Structure 1
Amino acid sequence: MIHTRYLLVFLILSTLLMGCDVTKSAKDQALFKKIDDIHTQVKNEEWDDALDNVDKWEDTYEKRLWKMQLLGEQADYEGINLEITLLKERLKRQNERQAIDSIIQLKHYLSAIYDF
C-alpha cells in the first residue's frame, strides 16, 4: 500500500516535470513565428501590414493568455499587454528602432513564459 502511494506520487511528479518540455503547442509556436514575421515587416518598412499583423497577433495572444497565466509570472504577461500597446503606437509613427525594441521585448516576455 505504501509503495503504491510512492509510485503514484513519483509518476505524477515525473509527468509534470517531463510535461514542461511540451508546453509549447503549435498555436504557441505560432506566436513566436508571427513576431518574427512582424519584425521582418518592420525592417522592410511595411508599416500597415505590420500593424495588421500585430492586431492578429494580439487576438491569438488573448486566446492563449489563460495558458500563459498558468505558466508565467504576472509581470511577464502584463508586460506583453503594455508592449503590444507601445508597438502599435510605434508602428503608427513609423519608428523602426522603437518598434524593433518592442518586438525584442515581446520575444523576451514570451521566452520567459515558455522557456522556464
Structure 2
Amino acid sequence: MGKYVRTSILIVMISLLLVGCQGEKEFYKKIDDINQSVEQADWEQSKRKIKALKEMYKEGKWKLQLLGDEAEYEGINVEMEKLKEAADAKDKTQIKVGLGTIRGHLHDIYSF
C-alpha cells in the first residue's frame, strides 16, 4: 500500500510539473502578444488581449497556487488590475512595466 501511494504521488507531481511548464509558455506568448499590440498603439486590441490574459490567469490560478507562493501569484493578480487601468489610460510605459513584473513572478513560480 505504501509503495502504491508513493508512486501515485510521484505521478501526480510529475504531471503537475509538465502541465505547469506548458502553462508558462502560454503566459509568455500572451505577454508577447500584448507587448506587440502596445508597440503598435492598438489600444482596443491591447485591452482585449489583457482581458484574455486575465481570464487565462483566473482559469490556471490553482496551478500557480500549487507551484508558487502567495506573494507571487497574488502579485500577478495586482499587476493584472494595473494593466487594465494602464490600457485605459493608454500608458505604454506602465503596461510594459506591468508585463515585466508579471513575467518576473511567472519566472519565480516556474523555476524550481
Partner of 1:60: 56
- 2:32 corresponds to: 36
Percent identity between matched residues is 30
Shift of 1:114: 1.1
The 2-side partners of 1:72 and 1:21 are apart by 12
SS at match of 1:24: helix
Could you tell me which runs of 5 or more consecutive residues in structure 2 were left unpaired when the two chains were aligned: none
Shift of 1:115: 1.8
Out of 42, 49, 52, the position equivalent to 2:45 is 49
State the alpha-carbon separation in 2 of the partners of residues 83 and 21 from structure 1.
24
Select which of 59, 66, 69 maps to 2:65. 69
| Structure 1 residue runs of 4 or more that deviate by more than 6 Å after TM superposition | none
Tell me the secondary structure at the aligned position of residue 82 of structure 1: helix
Partners of 1:87 and 1:41 lie apart in 2 by 13
TM-score, length-scaled by structure 1: 0.79
Structural RMSD (CA):
2.4
Considering only CA atoms, is the larger Rg found in Structure 1 or Structure 2? 1
1:23 positional shift: 4.8
Determine the C-alpha separation between the residues in 1 that align with 2:32 and 2:72: 19
- 2:20 partner SS: coil
Q: TM-score, normalised by structure 2?
A: 0.82
Unaligned runs of 5+ residues in structure 1 are: none
Number of residue pairs matched by the alignment: 108
SS of 1:34's partner is helix
What do residues 25-81 of structure 1 show as CA deviations (whole Å, max 9, x unaligned)?
A: 534421211111001111111111011111111111111000100000100010011
Residue from 94, 98, 103 that aligns with 2:94 = 98
